[in-house]
Amino acid sequence: MRKSKKIPGFNSEAEEQEFWETHDSSGFLDWSEAQAAIMPNLKPSTKTISLRLPEMLLESIKVEANKRDIPYQSLIKAWLASNVKYRRRAS
């Protein structure tokens, strides 16, 4: 454990924010002793969108979802996530 600088007291959240905007936390905290936080009950936030699809495409997606015994919206999300991940790795 290395010796760290003392974090000053703050009179307001704005004062603390201003301080951290101009200071590196590595001088105040020993990050080598940090532990990963496990938060198993957190769910990613979602946003509702409207997506227009040709009826035949939607029916095909529903058939594929039915084969996998999952909701068609979940299948669309899985396919989109997989495709985005693949394309990010490729670029």
pLDDT (tens digit, 9 = 90+) per residue, 43-88? 888 889 999 999 999 999 999 999 999 999 999 999 999 999 998 8
The answer to whether residue 26 sits within a structural domain is: no
Rounded CA-CA distance 78/64 in Å is: 12
Is residue 91 over pLDDT 90? no
DSSP state of 76: H
The answer to whether residue 50 sits within a structural domain is: yes
Rounded CA-CA distance 20/53 in Å is: 47
pLDDT of amino acid 77? 95
Q: How many domains does the chain have?
A: 1
Distances (CA, A) of 71 to 45, 58, 75, 79: 19, 12, 7, 13
The answer to whether residue 34 sits within a structural domain is: no
Q: Which domain holds residue 65?
A: 46-91
CATH assignment of the domain containing 84: 1.10.1220
The answer to whether residue 41 sits within a structural domain is: no
